[in-house]
Amino acid sequence: MNLVYRVASQWSVTVLGFVLLLLTLGRAITDTNNLVVDFIEVSLPFIVGVSLIIGGTWLARTHPTDRIIQLAMWILGGALVGVAVTVWVLFIISLEQVPAGEPTVLVLNDVGLFMAAGILLGYYATGFEAREHELELSEQRFRALTENSSFAVITLLHMAVDAGWARFLFEYLGWRL
């Protein structure tokens, strides 16, 4: 069970891309209009779906599973926001009694757009969190090193801060320019 969850989590971004791509192709194939026009209508979600498949494959091979799960949540959040925006826009347009176009096409385009925005924002946010975590770990290691060190190391560090780096480097370590 743990292996299945790990594999599903690792490839979740790719699976979301496949779902969007299948919905997009299904819409383009099942519509009765010209196939080229139908495909143009859903070209944005098609591009986003293919990009998520390629990007999800890259993420699964290069990034930790925890980050991929967070990115999948960002993508799902973007999809939900896309649906909510579309429903709201369709509601407002229906109040004006103006044809809003085909709702399925609008939903697919908004979902694709917001999924792309979700993955971009999520990648930035999770990268920021990862760098922040690494900085905290580095600081904790430094504190552990200096707290458990002898008096001489602490004295050298205080001398470096108090006397200034240049004086410390030149006088105590014998460095020359």
Q: Is pLDDT of 169 > 70?
A: no
The whole-angstrom separation of Cα 90 and Cα 96 is: 10
* Mean pLDDT value across residues 132-145: 81
pLDDT at 129 over 60: yes
Who wins on pLDDT, 165 or 18? 18
- Assess if residue 157 is contained within a domain: no
- Would residue 160 count as lying in a domain? no
Q: Per the domain annotation, does 156 fall within a domain? A: no
Quote the CA–CA distance of 74 and 32 in Å, as a whole number: 34
pLDDT by residue (tens digit) across 39-73?
Answer: 788 888 899 999 999 999 999 999 888 888 988 99
Q: What is the number of structural domains in the chain?
A: 1
What does the CA dihedral 36, 37, 43, 44 come to, rounded to 10 degrees?
170
Q: Examine the pLDDT at 173 and tell me if it is beyond 70.
A: no
Residue 137 domain-assigned (yes or no): yes
CB burial string 57-74: b at 16+ within 10 A, e below:
eebbeebebebbbbbbeb
Give me the pLDDT at residue 18, please: 93
Domain housing 128: 2-147
pLDDT in tens, 75-106: 988 888 888 888 888 777 777 666 656 777 77
- Residue 175 pLDDT class (50, 70, 90 cuts): low
pTM value is: 0.66
pLDDT value at residue 57:
92
